[in-house]
């Protein structure tokens, strides 16, 4: 019998313009799983947190991840997972990706690391598919690998870790509004006008160029989304007003985090990040919407072991 304890970070998908192709990992906030492998053939999942999760393992994102891993390595085992710490589901900061990344990474460690990072992400994407009805990796890849990542392509998966210039902080707020990721994906148009596509790929290029050259102003300028945001921002009370307050306070950009309802402001200054956090809290307090606010650094660390026993 072997047991691992794994931490996987929260993440922010899209970074504005990079719908399904760009995401970043956050420091400190995340999920912790303990996974035990022993002889046999089965899976149990125990939730030791106060966060309500489905008790049916077929509805837990960890299940398809564990199954995919065992299928790739062609092994059978009794796997027992305990969820020790959990980001609230539906918060828009990669809750399902954190559990999926921790499960995929932990399984790989338990079996002697037969999979590459890309394959670990591929396993984690099974959890994302169960949660959202889509195989996107822009939460799972940064959660596994850390930093800011670009999914250059999905067939085959081609993940590029991009530089994180200097100190990057995110103020993130999770207003207590339920936005289901699947629903937030279903409302998006299946076709995009050429004019919008031109604007979006210009911004994706600008964001990548800004990260590689350390041009913070360019990063902020490029974090604009004309594809998903116009449809999704209506879920978030006072979205445009909040953005103008945050930009006036010095944030480089403010966008929806993944499919929402969380929003985040990016900055290279800790004091601006803290001010952005206060503005977010004040904004939702005034609207009588409860919210959590996190001020966290963009992290170069992805999923990591925090304990092993044999
Ligand atoms: N890229 C995905 C979306 C992320 O925007 O739907 C979901 O968290």
* Domain 2-163+299-309 shares a fold with domain 169-297: no
What's the rounded Cα separation, in Å, for the pair 27 and 188? 30
Return the SS3 of 121.
helix
CB burial of residue 174 (10 Å; 0-12, 13-18, 19+): buried
pLDDT at 277: 98
pLDDT at 46: 97
Spatial CB neighbours of 230, under 8 Å, sequence gap ≥ 6: none
CB burial of residue 201 (10 Å; 0-12, 13-18, 19+): exposed
Which residue has its alpha carbon closest to ligand 1 atom 8?
Answer: 258
Q: Which residues form ligand 1's pocket by a CB distance below 6 Å?
A: 13-14, 19-20, 136, 138-139, 181, 184-185, 228, 258-259
Cβ 101 vs Cβ 302: under 8 Å:
yes
Which of 34, 109, 128, 229 does the annotation list as catalytic?
128
The CATH fold assigned to 169-297 is: Alpha-Beta Plaits (3.30.70)
CA of residue 91 to ligand 1 center, whole Å: 12
Structural domain spans, the chain:
2-163+299-309, 169-297
183: how many CB neighbours lie within 10 A of its CB? 13
Spatial CB neighbours of 158, under 8 Å, sequence gap ≥ 6: 151, 152
pLDDT at 165: 83
Which of 36, 63, 173, 181 does the annotation list as catalytic?
181
pLDDT at 110: 97
Is position 126 annotated as part of the catalytic site?
no
The class level of CATH for 2-163+299-309 reads alpha beta
pLDDT at 271: 97
Cβ 162 vs Cβ 225: under 8 Å:
no
Torsion of CA 50, 14, 146, 83, to 10 degrees: 20
Is position 181 annotated as part of the catalytic site?
yes
pLDDT at 86: 96
Q: Nearest CA to 27 among 15, 13, 12?
A: 12
Ligand 1 atom nearest to CA at 188 = 6
Which of 150, 230, 258 best tests ligand 1's pocket when mutated (most atoms within 8 Å of CB)?
A: 258
**Block mean pLDDT (10 aa), the chain, length 310:** 95 97 94 97 97 93 98 97 92 91 98 97 96 91 97 96 91 89 89 97 98 96 98 96 98 96 96 98 97 92 86
Cβ 291 vs Cβ 173: under 8 Å:
yes
Which of 132, 149, 151, 232 best tests ligand 1's pocket when mutated (most atoms within 8 Å of CB)?
A: 132
């Amino acid at each position: 019998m072997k047991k691992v304890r794994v931490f996987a970070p929260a993440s922010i998908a899209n970074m504005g313009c990079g719908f399904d192709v760009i995401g970043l990992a956050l420091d400190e906030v995340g999920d912790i799983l303990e996974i035990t492998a022993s002889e046999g053939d089965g899976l149990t999942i125990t939730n030791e947190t106060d966060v309500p999760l489905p008790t049916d393992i077929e509805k837990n994102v960890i299940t398809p991840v564990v199954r995919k891993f065992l299928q790739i390595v062609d092994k059978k085992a009794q796997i027992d997972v305990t969820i020790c710490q959990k980001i609230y589901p539906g918060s828009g900061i990669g809750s399902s990706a954190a559990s999926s990344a921790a499960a995929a990474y932990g399984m790989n460690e338990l079996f002697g690391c037969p999979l590459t990072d890309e394959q670990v992400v591929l396993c984690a994407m099974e959890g994302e598919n169960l949660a959202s009805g889509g195989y996107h990796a822009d939460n799972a890849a940064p959660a596994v690998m850390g930093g800011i990542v670009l999914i250059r392509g999905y067939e085959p998966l081609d993940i590029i870790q991009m530089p994180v210039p200097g100190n990057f902080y995110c103020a993130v707020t999770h207003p207590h509004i339920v936005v289901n990721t699947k629903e937030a994906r279903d409302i998006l148009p299946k076709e995009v006008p050429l004019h919008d596509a031109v604007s979006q790929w210009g911004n994706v290029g600008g964001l990548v160029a800004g990260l590689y050259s350390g041009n913070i102003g360019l990063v902020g300028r490029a974090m604009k989304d004309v594809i998903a945001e116009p449809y999704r921002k209506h879920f978030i009370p006072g979205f445009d007003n909040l953005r103008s307050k945050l930009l006036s306070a010095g944030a480089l950009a403010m966008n929806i985090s993944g499919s929402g309802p969380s929003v985040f402001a990016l900055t290279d200054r800790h004091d601006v990040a803290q001010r952005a956090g206060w503005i977010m809290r004040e904004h939702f307090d005034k609207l009588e919407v409860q919210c959590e606010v996190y001020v966290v650094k963009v992290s170069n660390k992805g999923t990591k072991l925090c304990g092993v026993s044999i």
